[in-house]
Amino acid sequence: MNVLTIGGAMVDTIVTIASDKIEQIKMRNAESSFLLLEEGQKTEAEQIASSGGGGALNSAVAASRLGHATSIIAKVGRDDKADAVRLLLNTEGVDVAWLAVDETEPTGASVIISSHDRNAAVFTYRGANTRLKSDDLPPEAFSGRHLVYIANLSNESADCYPLAVARAKAAGARLAVNPGIRQLTARFDDFWRSLESIDILCVNRVEAQTLMPRLLQSFGDGGATLSGPKDETLPPLARRGLRSGGYEMTLIKFLGGLVALGVDTAVLTDGANGAFIARGNDLYYRAAQHVVAAATTGAGDAFSTTFACYLADTDDAPRALAAASINAANVVQHIDTQTGLLSRAALERELMRENEAAFLSFSI
């Protein structure tokens, strides 16, 4: 299968700090927590490492390791970080022919602080990642692709989203989209108009709650709830649904609404609480694997890319869900976003040990 990823490519600096070296505060009445650094003091780190990052880069490496011919459209500066990005992609067998260079902005960079729950705090300088232009997405870059995967786009690059969608569909490729919060707020109208063109939409719970207000206008709040053999076996999100601005939508209504609007397969991830997919009248749930997390950064990219690749390759939604869950769980056991990405052979071996008890299916 031939895959093209579009989005960001950057260099991550990952700082791992022991839990007793940095304070954590959790909000009692909100799903938020904070890491606190003492002003004017040096904090000892357990490790400081450098790695490639960015949605398109992470996804390109994941697809390549799964055995697919993979190319990337992203933008870097003319600097040492760009050289590091190219070296990583070349080492992973990713075609960099469409990796563009911006002459004014440097390559994007992030500083990732990992401690306590390992749900890292991230300082990001997007740099050249924000500077994709229409000329960076020529029709020939899309020719012959079986799957086009569009990761998070921001600022000027997000203006290219409608063109990327049109190019993918004109090439006859399946289109997978994994938008970020910035794209779902500042560029929401472009995203909304593209729903009927999206074959695979992947969002996490926070992104889903950002989508809720617009879905409420079309479908209203509330909705039918999921029920299982024993309701206590259902994951938290299945019981409580999504909440935003005083409104609530059940999973059936939210995911069913996306399908009604033209999305072929809608995916909703909830971190350690597992993931849901809706396709037609079917809804599937897969529990997350219980692992000791070193860092959660990159888990979403691993999940979404693996799911999209497996579904485009096999058209087997439950198997794609299982493969995505396994690959994401392996990624979080490492501090960077790529070390844990599995090869196709390794992932197939893990699928043979699949735990059926972790899987539920429903009708919607």
Each residue of 13-64: pLDDT tens digit?
Answer: 888 777 776 767 776 665 677 777 777 778 777 778 889 999 999 999 999 9
Each residue of 152-199: pLDDT tens digit?
Answer: 998 999 999 999 999 999 999 999 999 988 899 889 999 999 999 999
Looking at 139-247, list the stretches that DSSP marks H as alpha helix, in order from N- to C-terminal side.
139-142, 161-170, 181-186, 188-193, 205-219, 236-240
Residue 191: predicted pLDDT: 95
Query: How large is the average pLDDT for residues 290-318?
Result: 91
Residue 230 has pLDDT above 60, yes or no: no
Query: How large is the average pLDDT for residues 95-117?
Result: 89
Q: Which of 25-34, 179-188, 215-224, 308-317 has the lowest mean pLDDT?
A: 25-34
Residue 89: predicted pLDDT: 98
Amino acid identity at 305:
T
Domains of the chain (ranges, CATH numbers):
2-18+45-363 (3.40.1190.20)
Query: Average model confidence (pLDDT) for the chain?
Result: 89
- Asked whether the CA dihedral 295, 91, 352, 317 is positive or negative, the reply is positive
Query: How large is the average pLDDT for residues 292-304?
Result: 87
Each residue of 61-90: pLDDT tens digit?
Answer: 999 999 999 999 999 999 999 999 999 999
Looking at the chain, list the stretches that DSSP marks H as alpha helix, in order from N- to C-terminal side.
55-65, 80-91, 139-142, 161-170, 181-186, 188-193, 205-219, 236-240, 251-260, 299-314, 317-331, 344-352
